[in-house]
Amino acid sequence: MLFSKYDPLKKKQLQILNEKGEIVNKELEPKLDKETLVKMYKQAVLGRVADIKALQYQRQGRMLTYAPNRGHEAAQIGTAAAMAEQDWYIPGFRDFYAMLYRGVTLEQIYLYWYGNEWGSHFDEGVRVTPVNVIIGSQINHASGIAYASKLMKKNEVAVTAIGDGGTSHGEFYEGMNFAGVFNLPLVTLVQNNQYAISTPRAKATKAETLAQKAVAFGIPGIQVDGNDILAVYVAMKEAMEHARSGKGPVLVEAVTYRLGPHTTSDDPTLYREDSEVEIWEKKDPMIRFKKYMIDKGYWTEEEQKAYEEESDNYVGEVFRKVEATGEAELLDVFKYTYEEMTPQLIEQYETHKKFLEKGGK
């Protein structure tokens, strides 16, 4: 079994595709067909382009605060690709690539970061919940969805993600403990990108690995190379099969790195050295994934150039459409937290509506 072979307490980490794009664990290389691999790679390229341009739009004053995702492609797309159609993804605020892969449109994601509440209104059938900004709360939400799945016998796995710093928050422990106690179909991905804003991972917890925190919940845990999309896919696939079969939740730690700032309000040069970033730049998940695709004959440099240009044009068109929506309706703030507004929200809504009608701003 994968989880016993790669025991985090023994400091074992799963890797299949190394930094040079070489298969170092042939036995575990997933048998993914060309169509699936090309989809995964193209989504990663599009996501990388859209992520970089979102940062640029924010710096130009055309978008609100944004949380960059560069460096998280393998962790998120490897996870999303391993999910079944009926499964739910419950995101935090740095899950751009996974949301895109699971069917949330780029326009919707951009609308959200543009400050428009309608960006959280996903298309029918897209099993992704709105972005959760409160650190750790998504674990409780995911546990609740997993509980419902179990009670209703729906064969749905709830998949969620959290950062390394988030594993030191109370709601992480509450949600994971609840899922463990009730043997729920939950898989939690820890995106260990080394920093909780400016707090390095070593100062956020004394645990030698984050995967070993699973021991306290009585569930399996595994640490993988989070820049290796194949390792993430394999670990998450087995974790989901474990959860779906009724054996309970799994905790997966993907060791990666946030190549950009925490958010556009952050200046990472104040707390980490450029030399450190340079080391991780060489471990960029896109470098090894691209080489893997070319070596298999599934991709070429010519296709890369053409698709990057196509993606750049597409992203520009989408953002121009988002900008054309203008300023968001302030009253929308009250409308979309619940299916129906509570009496308190109705009162606040009516009060503010009258204020605006009288010329208030």
How far is the CA of 70 from the CAs of 51, 96, 218, in angstroms?
Answer: 7, 10, 33
110 has catalytic annotation = no
Given the residues 62, 121, 271, 336, the one annotated as active site: 271
DSSP assignment of 181-250 equals HTT--EEEEEEE-SEETTEEHHHH---S-SGGGHHHHTS-EEEEETT-HHHHHHHHHHHHHHIIIII--E
Given the residues 262, 292, 298, 352, the one annotated as active site: 262
CB atoms within 10 A of CB 72: 29
What's the burial of 320, exposed, middle or buried (CB within 10 Å: 0-12/13-18/19+)? Answer: exposed
Q: Is 163 helix (H, G, I), strand (E, B) or coil?
A: strand
Q: How far apart are CA 69 and CA 263, in angstroms?
A: 9
59 has catalytic annotation = no
Given the residues 242, 258, 288, 292, the one annotated as active site: 258
State the chain's maximal CA–CA distance in angstroms.
70
Q: How far apart are CA 245 and CA 239, in angstroms?
A: 10
The residues carrying an active-site annotation are: 258, 262, 271
